[in-house]
Chain A
Amino acid sequence: MKFTLQIDSSPTAGQSGYYAYRFACELIKAGHQVIRIFFYREGIYHGYRYSTPPDDELNFSRLWSALSQAHSIDLVICVSAAQRRGLLHPDEAQRQGKLDNDLAEGFRISGLGQMIEASLLADRLIVFP
């Protein structure tokens, strides 16, 4: 089955982000196709390159990067949600007259249309609020 996930919760706000990660891992293990994972609202905090939690805590941006690299998962961060919260891709930073490269490996920035498109391609849309 084809799945699209939307993650609305930040890695530090509760368990939702972790459940989303585990769910994505289990989908892959079970042979399902993950069309796209769309990070929206507070979910964009999963994609910060420089998040540096203590060693005995989970580092979500690293977990996602590794998952994306191992299984070519499309990790998309919503551009408007990211800009509101100060996550800037180099192209966008340049446009805003700023110097920044906040995006972790394996993530890309795009618009909400990517989420709708992925929902149309999927059999199931699962939202982690």
Chain B
Amino acid sequence: MKKFLFIISKSASGVSVQEALDQIMIAAAFDQAVSLLFIDDGVFQIKKNQRPDALGLKATASIFEALEVYDVNAFYAETESLEQSGLTVQDLCLPVKLLARNQIAEFIKQHECILPG
């Protein structure tokens, strides 16, 4: 088993979220340890009360919530990214563990396969 880390750093656009989610689900289906880290605008992907249909996008919060079915439940968010986005953990649909920016590099080092979200 390897430790996979998906770093989601952008808000939803086009099919990029779907392609990240496909890869996350396949890694989980292979019984790998899968963690998700939300940084920068990526934190908006798990914001509650999204209304993305006017932009031709899918609401991503519910898709990320559904990952628990695949035993993906290691979610992390960067404290500074949340602050800069004007969000708190109460605005998010997932129970994230918070990491400070100066902990991120050490956190990434604990994983073997790092992929963009």
Contact = CB atoms under 8 A, between A and B. Distances in A.
Interface of A: 6, 8, 40-41, 80-81, 84, 111-113, 115-117, 119-120, 125, 127, 129
Interface size class of B (residues with CB under 8 A): 10 to 19
Contacts, number: 38
Contact of B27 (A40, A41, A111, A116): A116
B83 interface: no
A127 B30 contact: no
A8 B115 CA distance: 10
Contacts of A113: 26, 29-30
Q: Which applies to chain A's interface (DSSP): helix, strand, loop or mixed? A: helix
Q: Which applies to chain B's interface (DSSP): helix, strand, loop or mixed? A: mixed
Interface of B: 2, 4, 15-16, 19, 22-23, 26-27, 29-30, 32, 112-116
20 contacts: A8-B116, A40-B19, A80-B19, A80-B22, A111-B26, A112-B23, A113-B26, A113-B29, A115-B23, A116-B26, A116-B30, A116-B32, A119-B2, A119-B4, A125-B112, A125-B113, A125-B114, A125-B115, A127-B115, A129-B116
Nearest first, the 10 closest Cβ-Cβ pairs linking A and B are A112-B26, A125-B113, A116-B30, A129-B116, A119-B113, A116-B27, A41-B19, A116-B26, A112-B23, A127-B115
